[in-house]
Structure 1
Amino acid sequence: MDNLELIAFDLFGVVITDGHLVTNGLMPLLPPGITKAAVKPYYDAYTGGQISEADFWQGIGLMLDSPIRNQFLNVFELDADLAAVTYALSKHYRLGILSNLGAEWGEMLEERFAFSERFEPRIISGAVKCQKPEPAIYAALIRASGVGGEHIAFIDDRRENLEVAKRFGMTTIHYQREPDQCAFEPDYTISSLGEVLQIFHKDNPVFLGLPKPDHGTIP
């Protein structure tokens, strides 16, 4: 662990408490008759950077200026331990983001949560036009960080994403919020984000005693 320089976080399911952007964020707001099966191909194409956001909304029968666009991301909240954990870790490591998300949606979350104040680099699949678990997105993280995979730890709530990260030499941490059927065994498994400090224990302060920021932003 002494050679680690960067800790990369997945967004939905790690930084953000809910890992189901479509199921729990978007679907409850869509008009009756629009199914998840109908949404998924457009969602995958948009988050992979293959179509524009306007094409995504048009594909599911809505317009880019639909009020749903500005509503669905607002149902998500940051993990309660995130501010304290990132505060402690930032004293010893660089912190980054590696997430499957549409480029514009990433910008909307940045406006709300100010991720850039704590995380750099931030690799968003829609912006780099590839997504986990495609190897190219892990290579993008390595290029942006300027360090080899052996110097990176990656936290994700899906083991299939961690399996590919391991091929690049990354230390893998599974944030297990729900059962995962993938057979890959990560280096570490956590059930709360605060447990990360038990892995990276370079004289970190007790995270539960650290102040939380106001308005959901990261201090």
Structure 2
Amino acid sequence: MEETNVSLKLLIDRESQRVLFAEAGKEFIDFLFHSLALPIGTLVPLFEKQGIQGSFGNIYESIKNLGSIYLQPSVNKDTLLRPKVHISGGGTGLPLLLQNIESSSTFMKLYSCPRSGSACDAYLAYDFSAICPSCKNVMNREKNMVDPPTPSASTERGYVKGLVTYTVMDDLVVKPMSTISTITLLNKFNVQEFGALEEKVVNLGMDEVVKILKASLYSKSVLTDVFLLRMSRPEEDEPA
């Protein structure tokens, strides 16, 4: 399967060997926000008061703090912050980072009770061996769930608006980028030698996606761990 061309522009401090922050477009921010829709995202509100290890909780806080003007009109913050998980045989996946991967089928199979015109019509199942809660018959009548129409070119998918560049911190805090905020960040990091700063563009594939998700659960320096340390010790990524 062919992956989309999603990239990050990292600002690296060579002296401290860390990623200060990254510039990212809509695709990467959509991916981060979409990660809350994974099953683990339902646990974040439970840990909100006690605190959560790593940087995953910062994605949650970034959504809470991001102004509504940056979100698509159809996006409801509550949907992201308190997602409802629907488990099906299709698995979860990461569609927002892999936008150009089209499913080989345009619908999924659903099943209903063979008794129509009754209270049984209120129930649907993913499995044809499911039992109807109303009449206890096997729900083996096949139905199809059709995908919504493909959005037009003028309709953006995802969570945040395009034509905006975002700052992604090493710990995955997300904010809209501006010249003033960049200068503030450089002062915050006490950067003395601008010659020690290096820009590096990295492309994201499924390997990097998995590493980011894993690192976000335990690390406060996700971008450094995934990109900078990996580049300095490439042998660690090699299979044993």
Give the TM-score, by structure 2 length: 0.22
Which structure's CA Rg is the greater one? 2
Is the strand fraction higher in 1 or 2? 2
> Higher relative CO (CA 8 A, sep ≥ 6), structure 1 or 2?
2
